Structure 1
């Protein structure tokens, strides 16, 4: 007998042999995958002896998606910073808005983002850096109640700059080094490992906002606590100019020098890197979070993902935040990943759909150091499973489910979601969150924030508003 039995059309397992099972089924019991195989074999044991039977013969069943770069506090900032490159985007729009947040508004943003991720197939994610003014404890406790898996980085900083520009961080986001570091330790002691779904990481700010001493302190403490570190790196050319001019090191060399490489590190964007740096990432087992929509929208450049993969780098996917992407839909991000590499290299075979799907699932699990429990549908792994409805014109004829998911699907095609063996969305309706309440709270919170900050109160359109 199983708690949940899914009678699927196609099962994309992402197991070690990457099996795709036609007319397959998955049995879930006590939160874990108990059986996976052909329907005709498993039906006799589970079809009539399970608490919940999901008939998914016209669906694709696959592991939940893992988003390795999320800004929970930017959910309210969509369309508030369009048409700007990174540093003006941060300095003039995003940081002033985030520096004006009140805890209830930050929580409303986190709720909105989490709702969107669950409804578009994300079952685990990495938050890149929360600050004290957001009310971190309330956000962590909400995330636990939502049912999602989350590695939550707390921002750590002791300077106010970005690359060669000093003192540009908005005063509302400035925190002393001891305060931000010690609060990370407090959060780690309180929440890390909660139900094996919540983890607390270090989120040092970008070079220019953290001293060398503090970077090294973070590296040492993360190793001692056996937790992770995530940091933006080499997103724009200014990052390279800063580390080379100031320290005589390229960005990845700089990170490695400070102990910020290794299997417990997720470096984000990593656009402007050399061949030697790519090899160093592969040799150290450092993960990279690729965020193509953000890189394209902010004109930051195209990361060398196909080169990284061929050098053994664990590359995963991230959506980034509301103002740099405008959605948190990781299914859409797969298509952008698949299209950007052929454009960058002028090679149609620069990357395959299978590689992109790995980036969104098992590679993401490896980046979050949870590939022993999730990222694939395998016996004894926790049941983090999504069901995609392919009975739609844009997904027919279904002659290649992997290609269709990467090139043709969107998060709106996700029908059911199971996290840790718990059904959190069924027939597009979330079972752990009040969708209407979250959207209403977010709308109210956003306008309070815009009015207080004096930003984003009018649409940035060139057409007449009447």
Structure 2
């Protein structure tokens, strides 16, 4: 297929934008990117797909997702993080069935696809969610999914003396660590290599030092990548200092976490030595500004991380902490929040933000040679956006600025993954959207009833 007449934001090394551009796709890969006139002339018999002067970007890469939390959207709003976790989110997740988790995963994936996310990193897939069902949802939808399965052995958070997890989420070493190895053997590389299986470590002390060291050793032996929440709240920093006499970065180095096959999430409460450690080891960081803002966890020092040479990507987090999985909306907050904090309007420009959401994300998940930019021989993962027909994106002299500061996922018109149309003119082609919403409402009602949770407005309903 020859996709013609688009404005192609390539994200190649020169960051070229091709006006009146075209993309030649053969099978699952891009074969050429160039001017429409040139590609049509050199491939006159190729069927064409008219992009109608719309903007084309590489598929967005969300490096921090909780699939099971889509069903929990709107629960626990306006709470601080530890209360939010222990009194609401974990209570609901700890009673979730595999069928409900599958329904939540489909809801989340459908939302991601329709808002331009073509690849994601799931942070912590609990055993009770049913890993097979989660992988099946990825396979059916056509999305590219990196699935982090939980590794843990302690049912605590932030302090050994408080904040216990819901018993329904507590797992043993055998259940979690060995379960990752089993699922890696079963699912890694499946669905035409769209499914990758990761270690998804819980935040210390939810995972012991011994288990962390065992996990990182197995990671090296089996070439399995790792993701972990780290330094998200001040209590994390206190834990590392009081229990280990280390900074967050020093602790991660001590247990073998640092390296180019690890994505550490949030990274708000850092100390001076951490920046150099992260940069020198090639460790990746996932920035989640909406979640961090809503839960008042703090603002991650992203400009300083970037200045140190750390690869920083972008993530939406989950349904109760962000309330959506729209990476385009996440880009705007990532651009604005650091300007406000630093009182510097030129920090974190739109171009930097788009890099975080595309090529930096691809690098974080180890796929920068396959996705993240629109270039010959890379996977045909791209998103078509309609700016011309919307009031809030008109006029659009600079498509990068319009994308980051004006647009939402609602401007996504067409999505291609692995050379396959998965969204066309706003319609999901691989999933039944109405059925997904219907099932999600049913599952949410059942889960909330079983957990005794009643989400309702604080104001009287008359």
CA contact under 8 A between 1:8 and 1:60: conserved in structure 2? no
CA distance in 2 between partners of 1:38 and 1:153 (Å): 40
Q: Deviations over 1:267-290 (max 9, x none)?
A: 000011123211211111000000
Structure 2 distance, partners of 1:388, 1:378, is: 19
Match of residue 58 from structure 1: 53
On the 8 A contact 2:127/2:175 being kept in 1, the answer is no
Q: Distance in 1 between matches of 2:383 and 2:29?
A: 14
Q: Distance in 1 between matches of 2:225 and 2:318?
A: 20
2:301 is aligned with 1:304: yes
Of 448, 451, 454, 1:453 maps to 451
Question: Residue 403 of structure 2 aligns with which residue?
Answer: 405
Work out the CA distance in 1 between the residues paired with 2:30 and 2:226: 29
1:23: Cα distance to partner? Answer: 1.1
Aligned partner of 1:377 in structure 2 is 374
Q: Which runs of 5+ in 2 are unaligned?
A: none
Q: Distance in 2 between matches of 1:79 and 1:432?
A: 27
Is 1:67 the counterpart of 2:62? The answer is: yes
Q: Which residue of 2 aligns with 1:173?
A: 169
CA contact 2:358–2:373 (8 Å) conserved in 1: yes
**Alignment equivalent of 2:37, drawn from 2, 25, 40:** 40
- Counterpart CA distance in 2 for 1:458 and 1:264 is 39
Alpha-carbon separation, structure 2, partners of 1:95 and 1:265:
25
From 278, 288, 299, give the equivalent of 2:285: 288
Unpaired stretches in structure 1, ≥5 consecutive residues: none
Alpha-carbon distance between aligned partners in 1 of 2:271 and 2:170, rounded to the nearest angstrom: 32
1:131 is matched with which residue? 126
Cα RMSD for the two superposed structures: 1.0
- Tell me if 1:349 matches 2:346: yes
Contact 1:158 1:177 survives alignment (8 Å): yes
Deviation >4 Å, runs of 4+: none
Separation of aligned partners in 2, 1:144 and 1:9: 29
Number of residue-to-residue matches in the alignment: 459
Q: Do the aligned residues in 2 keep the contact of 1:70 with 1:125 (CA within 8 Å)?
A: yes
Secondary structure in 2 aligned to 1:11?
strand
Inter-partner Cα distance in structure 1 for 2:6 and 2:152: 49
Q: Which stretch shifts more, 164-173 or 194-203?
A: 164-173
* Alignment counterpart, residue 164 of structure 1, candidates 159, 184, 192: 159
Residue 316 in structure 1 maps to residue 313 in structure 2: yes
**1:462 and 2:450 aligned:** no
- SS at the partner of 1:89? helix
Query: 1:211-290 counterparts in 2 under 5 A?
Result: 211-290=208-287
Pairing 1:185–2:177 present = no
- Distance in 1, matches of 2:70 and 2:6, equals 35
Match of 2:364 among 363, 367, 379: 367
Does 2:428 correspond to 1:430?
A: yes
Deviation, 1:50, is: 2.8
How far is the alpha carbon of 1:165 from its aligned partner?
4.4
Shift of 1:164: 1.3
TM-score by length of 2: 0.98
3-state DSSP class of the match of 1:432? coil
SS in 2 for 1:322: coil
Instruction: Judge conservation of contact 2:20–2:53 (CA < 8 Å) in 1.
Output: no
Contact 2:249–2:273 under 8 Å retained in 1: no
